[in-house]
Amino acid sequence: MRAIARGVGLGPASLYNYFDGLDDVFTMLILSSYGTLASATSTAVAAFAAAPPADRAFIAILAHRRWALAHRNEFNLIFTDQLPGYAAPPDGPTVAAQVAVFQPMIDALEEVDRPVAGMSSDETSVALWSAFHGFVTLEVNHHLDWLEDTAAAHEKAVRSSFVGAGLPAPGQGVRAQFERWARREAVAAGPRRAEPRS
């Protein structure tokens, strides 16, 4: 509890002056984490607004991975069940916050001209999510440390999921373009946080 209070800049005694209970504190922390992840994905996609839809969807996926590696604790907070007894408010703000994270990818996929035989737009999104999010969850929690190049393996997994869903593959140079852009953004932002391993 004291660690949470320090994290939000409050003394332990004053915490409940601002929140009704511990669940409200957790909800605030979850919303904050979702917000920074959504900002990371939307900012990256906006920087490549002129790119083809499949490339923009891949950019959102790459931004998701980059944020996750730089914010491992927040990633596990919002995407794993690490808070025993906590339940997010049904149909509450965390639902919209999670949708905002993936909206740039969903929007890009809706622009893809090639029809996806036998799969709805939602099913296609879930298929891709299972591939890229599953990979990143393993990577964030050090289950893929034995791989020599996790960035390349992640890209292969994502490309395979695009093809498997009947979508056009992203351009071959998209990851390199994204990484150059991300490095420039990190330099412009200053030394606030160490660069994640790519």
pTM: 0.82
Region 76-105: mean pLDDT is 80
- Which band of pLDDT confidence, cut at 50, 70 and 90, is reported for residue 167? confident
The string of pLDDT tens digits covering residues 91-117 is: 778 788 888 888 898 889 888 765 555
Region 160-176: mean pLDDT is 91
CB 198 within 8 A of CB 154: no
Q: How many CB atoms lie within 10 A of CB 185?
A: 14
Contacts of 73 (CB under 8 A, 6+ apart): none
Report pLDDT for 5: 41
The answer on pLDDT for 186 being more than 80 is yes
* 99 vs 154, more confident: 154
* 125 vs 54, more confident: 54
Could you give all domains of the chain from N- to C-terminal order, each with its CATH number? 14-189 (1.10.357.10)
Q: How many CB atoms lie within 10 A of CB 197?
A: 9
Q: What is the DSSP letter of 12?
A: G
The string of pLDDT tens digits covering residues 53-66 is: 999 999 999 999 99
Report pLDDT for 96: 83
Please give the Cα distance from 12 to 124 (Å, whole number).
45
Region 75-79: mean pLDDT is 89
The answer on pLDDT for 44 being more than 60 is yes
